[in-house]
Chain A
Amino acid sequence: MAAPTNSIMSFTGVHKSFGGLKVIDEVTFDVVRGSRTALIGPNGAGKTTIFNLISGIYDIDIGKITLDGTDITHTPIQGRIGHGISRSFQNIRLMPHLSTIENVMLGQHTRARGTVDLFKPLGWGPGRRWAEMAEDALKRFGLETYPGQVVGNLPYGIRKRIEVVRAMMADPKILLLDEPAAGLNNQETTELQNLLRQVSDQGVTLLVVEHDMHFVRSLCEQVVVLNFGRKIFEGTPEQVHKDPGVLEAYLGTGNAA
């Protein structure tokens, strides 16, 4: 199947098993350039696994992943970051003993290379701009009061946002967010949506795993639904509620969409 020309990433005929358990079964979908696409499905459907396959944590068994026309199926993690894939994690994966700004700057790691920097601190000369960029991003996400604080002591909602900022710092073409609103209160969720709209307006494509359907409806224009490792639906958030297969999947597993 040929990918539409406006697709930034295509995921074609992908299979993945873990020790005989088929977790991803013949999944094919495209992410439209500049879109805000949601990947939804009941618990255990394989959403995080798809993110792990896209970001290169796991190798796929059969199938192909392309990004912006480049086949990245066998590209290692670092290379994929370089190609413009960045992600956040469902369970927060910050470095608890490092400060907020240091965590955020780790997001720049693959980009911020230059001449031998071993004894040239980033705060000196032209290297200073990386630190400034990180400070600006923290400001934009309303985290400017925390730069020097050790991340491990900060509240959950703040750490969740720091993860999103860190993912942004890689300057991605496509940003994968695994349940970014989980555990946030209503106000924090609204703020997050506004920020993600800003990010999207700058041309970054968003692929979001999210259980909160209000969040999905108000942010995303395209939805892909997985169930038991298979794609069961692809369309708009309005259509998804009327689809009998999707209703069945959610009701069948006792989840309210």
Chain B
Amino acid sequence: MKNIRNFCIIAHIDHGKSTLADRLLDFTGSVTDREKQDQLLDNMDLERERGITIKSHAIQMEYTYKGEQYILNLIDTPGHVDFSYEVSRSIAACEGALLIVDAAQSIQAQTISNLYLALENDLEIIPVLNKIDLPSANPEEVTDDIVDLLGCDPEDVIPASAKTGLGIEEILEAIIERVPAPKGEPDAPLQALIFDSVYNPFRGVETYFRVLNGEIKKGQKIKFMATDKSYFADEIGTLKLKQQPKNIIKTGDVGYLITGIKDAREVKVGDTVTSTENPCVKPIEGFENVKPMVFAGIYPVDTEDYEELRGAMEKLQLNDASLVFAPESSAALGFGFRCGFLGMLHLEIIQERLEREFDMTVITTVPNVSYHAYTKKNPDEIIIVNNPSDLPDPSKLERVEEPFIKATIITKADFIGPVMSLCIEKRGVITNQTYLTPERVELSFDMPLAEIVFDFYDRLKTVSKGYASFDYSPIGMRPSKLVKVDILINANSVDALSALVHMDNAHTIGKKMCEKLRELIPRQQFDIPIQAAIGAKIISRETIKALRKDVTAKCYGGDISRKRKLLEKQKKGKKRMRQVGNVEIPQQAFMAVLKLND
């Protein structure tokens, strides 16, 4: 046990965690030349395409230091704010953390938020100053920033380049010297924390665990404490690049477990694994339930796929404990699920994963945050509004509250003006302004969550030319002036397109939605009026002109094949549409509200 080190890599987005993990894997000989590739641990297609980490990834390395053999369990974590839940679970399995700071960008919002997560769990922090090879690197200043933040010695900060490999040996040395070996009772009953799980269509659920006390043996009968169900440990092993089956995983170590569980619901991340014969007394304190920030409906494009969609969502949830969902139904779309997400990137990724990994084409409805409504009849009873249709009729409504957040923005002093205007436009109120250095300012705002979940990030990046980072935490509910904007297509109200918006924005948003829908809905054989309404009052109107001609002039011997293929392609496109009334609405139109500014 004294030769095991468990650590994670944490940082702001893009500061080089996954690249640094590559170098550590190279240096310790954990990957062969053939297996090497950039950001090797980002193995999901989506991660590779987008160049970001979405899921934490654990991997084991072996390293000889001063003549002794060590086992190093590394967990690479995501940096994007939507995925901070992944970070907190990884932290629970570790004694130490490499805190990576980009030498050109210095401390950013998620550097701080992830650092605090690690400190709350008493992790030993090893600061790493990365990307010092960059011409724009500012090693001295950024080291000072780190020293200020952590209260450490400048010598504790390890200068490194994940690109050139500089500093890697020093990092490994620091991991062994500074991160404490795991503590735990080898002879106590088995007590292991489930910190992650994945669904494998061939092998069922794979559970990743960290042994706190005791040990786990292959074939042993084990129990999950929260569900109180017992299984046989059919296969256990360590997480090398490929899983490596073992007969035993001892105290302090990290491994995987396969029990043949096929039903996603039986495994809960945060649960404790123990021995059925000799159980431990108490479960490990698990994880706080994640609180979703954004809600949206997810519906199968083909109504018949509802059950299949449920199965897919359950399996995804196993990979992503932060996804929550409950059945709901819509007049326009039939049966589906109301889902909670950590943010818009999370929503987008779930939608894409459903499509790629489960071949499920879905419609996602207009997202909203969670409101509290109170009626005149029952002014003390909270009605939780996660769906526009849950909002009571305006005549019965007494008041509405919306979630507020404290937004922390770190930016260059040059951009205070534009950042400030943006936050005020988004109904923010400044609460604090601190100069971290003469050039860098931390601004705090109280803001409605609804204003930041949609396009706030992109706008912030634009107004600050990329020199602003952003973090937020909920600060409770506050009174709001909320209205429901309904959309009527061909005179039929389409509930799935309704949006909850602040009264002051209702007209602009209604107008833009009509315009966007006119663009996105293909012309059909008749004129289609599109209207936005608040209650019975129409606030905007557009018309999609009828299709007048939809036939090629010529269709002779040489045209038939080509033409058939073209029409087949059109037919495939139609499969991505939903018929509402007699109008075909394409899948992406339901998300139109998000693209209003494109």
A and B: real partners? no
* A interface list, Cβ under 8 A from B: none
